[in-house]
Amino acid sequence: MRVAFFDCSSGASGDMLLGSVLDVLRIESATPDDVHQAVAPWEDEVSGLLESEPGGRYALGRVLRAGMAALKVDFYVGDVHADRHGAGLPLPHRPAEAPGHHHGSDHHHHHHDHHQHPEQTPHHEHHHAHAHHRHLGDILKLLTDEHQAGRLSAEAMELASEIFGILGEAEASVHGCSLEEVHFHEVGAFDSIMDIAGFAAAFHMLGTSRVVASPVTLGSGTVKAAHGLMAVPTPAVVEILRAYRIPTSDITLPGECLTPTGAAILAAIVDEWQPIPHFRRILAQGTGAGSRDPREKANVVRLILGDAAEE
């Protein structure tokens, strides 16, 4: 049977998990050297959601994280990066090194899209109310609306709704509000929708029978959010870890390694938490990049797809 193993020793976020799955789909496709051709079926499935946001688009390309090649996925609304902090971030006019990034002079980012763009400043997935926001119910309605969700499969709709439900329940618990009152900033909500729905669509294309993941690295220190500095792991992450009994690793890395969206995705899909399982044969390895590029360890999620004996 096909078993997916997610190596979360560097943590996990929505874009890292999505990138790792798309990378495996690329490797298993008939055109592994042409990433856009390889992921065309995925792009077709999520196109309706991209078009539901005026100016919505994505960029996909290979980057390096501590010397390791990985696939990076970014979502944009016009020329604004739909970042995971919850607020729109205008794109600079030319490539610039972001604070906290440590690239050598020979480190180049190649994003294949209709619009070339630089690497964005690293941000994180915290959802707070701003001037414009979407309630969780609005997002769930969008995901299950056949007209707006376009070609998203029923299985992907169901998984995406489950992930958003997990995320919403954690946020409601942390903020002391009802699930109906949970809201996301408008631009940040688009990023979350695409990370989660995009992952759900890609994940079902893998055709796996079982999902295993390593204990997850949380990170350390603080992260800047709308209401000031928050300790890592953030309250929403801790709530998901508690509710779904997710084990954590003893690896200590600086910064926020596990985000709320990453935790919610893992909570929804993982059948068993353990080191890499025994495979009769390894089929593919995919690597998804996060926004940061710390020196200590490659900021990636690795997905190892293999054939394992039936249990």
Using N-to-C axis directions, what is the helix angle for 235-243 and 154-175, rounded to 10°?
A: 120
3-state secondary structure of 51: helix
Quote the CA–CA distance of 110 and 283 in Å, as a whole number.
26
> How confident is the model over 128-167, as pLDDT tens digits?
333 457 888 888 888 887 666 667 898 999 999 999 999 9
Q: How does 293-307 read in b/e, with b if 16+ C-beta sit within 10 Å?
A: bbeebbbbbbbbbbe
Q: What is the pLDDT of residue 114?
A: 34
Phi, psi of 211 (to 5 degrees): -125, 130
CA 269, CA 6: separation in Å to the nearest integer? 11
pLDDT above 80 (res 102): no
Percent of the chain with pLDDT over 70: 80
Instruction: Output the DSSP codes for 67-86.
Output: TEEEEEEEEEETTEE--TTS
What is the model's pLDDT at position 116?
33
Q: Are 14 and 196 in contact, with CB atoms under 8 Å apart?
A: yes
Enumerate residues 6+ apart whose C-beta is below 8 A from 91. 76, 79, 80, 81, 117, 118, 120
pLDDT number for residue 52: 84
Q: Is 236 left (phi over 0), alpha (psi -120 to 50) or beta?
A: alpha
> Which residue, 31, 35, 1, is CA-closest to 287?
35
Q: Which residues pair with 224 in a beta bridge?
A: 229
User: pLDDT tens across 6-55, in order?
Assistant: 999 999 999 999 999 999 999 999 999 999 999 999 999 999 888 888 88
Higher-scoring residue by pLDDT: 110, 13: 13
- pLDDT tens for 229-267 read 899 999 999 999 999 999 999 999 999 999 999 999 999
- What 3-state DSSP class applies to 109? coil
